């Protein structure tokens, strides 16, 4: 059985850098605090905890050691309070998320109502929304239909959105907004990952997507793959693989969400390899 691993599977550079910063800082300071998990992946969170990275719920609990702000950005009022409290801040914000922050501020400065295409309550979306007064978050074209008519809008998206969803929302907004400016803020690692999963799903008998079920971008990759290839499955770890998924398969494509560590991906690939060795050779 041929195994094809997507070139851009796994950590995007933003997450890789933030995890690296957390580990280095924990080594340097002994303890580092974070408001919430650094990525939506239980294995990474556990590894970081063992290295001295502590997750806290509020700033008040982070007084005795530096506070690390995560890759997907932090709300403006949290930044301000941390500064006012004199906390040592380690900024792990991905530069592509910071760019979305400056884009929305610019759109608002042009007198536009900012519309963010993204998941309600997602930390990155909350951080983007905090940059401007009175933004609107829209997760689907159905939600966009419910918006009132508007004169001037500026539209951006969460960095990990699916392009098809953003376009569907825009199609609705173009009917409702007189003067609309759209900035495509889907980040390039996400675009590459989404393009690759389409090819993997078309070209392979089976597709495996590796990542936590709490990771929105992993779930998006899974839903793209499943829409193109019914033999697509998401697993959080190697042990989740079911040998019967591979019956008669000659090729398997493997991809992973932006928060999945390399170790987990390689363990999945290894287990697929060992399952394939026990599979009967496909007839014909």
Active-site residues: which are they?
124
- Tell me if 96 contacts ligand SF4 by CB under 6 A: yes
Report which secondary-structure segment, H or E, holds 136.
strand 136-138
Instruction: Tell me which residues in 16-75 interact with ligand SF4 (CB under 6 A).
Output: 71-72
Nearest to 161 by CA among 119, 195, 121, 196: 119
Q: Which stretch binds ligand SF4 (CB under 6 A): 46-54, 82-90, 183-191, 205-213?
A: 183-191
Number of residues that bind ligand SF4 (CB under 6 A): 15
Q: Which of 3, 4, 13, 130 binds ligand SF4 (CB under 6 A)?
A: 13
Least Cβ distance, residue 283 to ligand SF4 (angstroms)? 42
Least Cβ distance, residue 101 to ligand SF4 (angstroms)? 11
Measured CA distances, 174 to 42, 129, 169 (Å): 40, 21, 9
Least Cβ distance, residue 281 to ligand SF4 (angstroms)? 40
247 DSSP 8-state letter: T
Report which secondary-structure segment, H or E, holds 4.
strand 2-5
Q: Which of 38, 45, 67, 94 binds ligand SF4 (CB under 6 A)?
A: 94
Residue 197 or 238: the one with the smaller Cβ distance to ligand SF4 is 197
CA distance 202 to 232: 11
Here the tokens at position 105 are 């501020």
Nearest to 223 by CA among 247, 255, 263, 267: 255
Contacting positions for ligand SF4 (CB under 6 A): 12-15, 71-72, 94, 96-97, 159-160, 187, 189-190, 258
């Amino acid at each position: 059985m041929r195994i094809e691993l997507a070139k851009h599977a796994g950590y995007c550079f933003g997450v890789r850098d933030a995890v690296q910063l957390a580990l280095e800082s924990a080594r340097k300071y002994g303890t580092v605090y974070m408001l919430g998990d650094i990525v939506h992946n239980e294995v990474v969170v556990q590894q970081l905890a063992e290295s001295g990275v502590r997750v806290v719920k509020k700033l008040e609990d982070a007084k005795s050691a530096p506070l690390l702000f995560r890759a997907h950005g932090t709300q403006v009022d949290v930044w301000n309070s941390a500064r006012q409290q004199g906390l040592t801040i380690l900024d792990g914000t991905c530069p592509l998320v910071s760019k979305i922050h400056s884009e929305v501020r610019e759109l608002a400065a042009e007198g536009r109502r900012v519309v963010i295409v993204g998941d309600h309550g997602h930390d990155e979306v909350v951080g983007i929304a905090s940059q401007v007064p009175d933004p609107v978050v829209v997760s689907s074209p159905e939600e966009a239909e419910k918006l009132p008519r508007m004169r001037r809008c500026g539209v951006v998206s969460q960095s990990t959105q699916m392009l098809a969803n953003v376009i569907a929302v825009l199609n609705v907004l173009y009917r409702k907004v007189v003067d609309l400016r759209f900035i495509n803020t889907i980040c390039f690692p996400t675009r590459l990952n989404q393009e690759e999963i389409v090819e993997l799903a078309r070209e392979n008998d089976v597709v495996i997507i590796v990542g936590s079920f709490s990771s929105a971008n992993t779930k998006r990759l899974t839903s793209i793959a499943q829409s193109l290839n019914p033999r697509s499955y998401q697993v959080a770890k190697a042990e989740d693989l079911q040998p019967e998924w591979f019956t008669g398969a000659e090729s398997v494509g493997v991809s992973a969400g932006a928060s999945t560590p390399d170790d987990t991906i390689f363990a999945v690939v290894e287990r697929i390899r060992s399952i394939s060795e026990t599979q009967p050779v496909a007839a014909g």
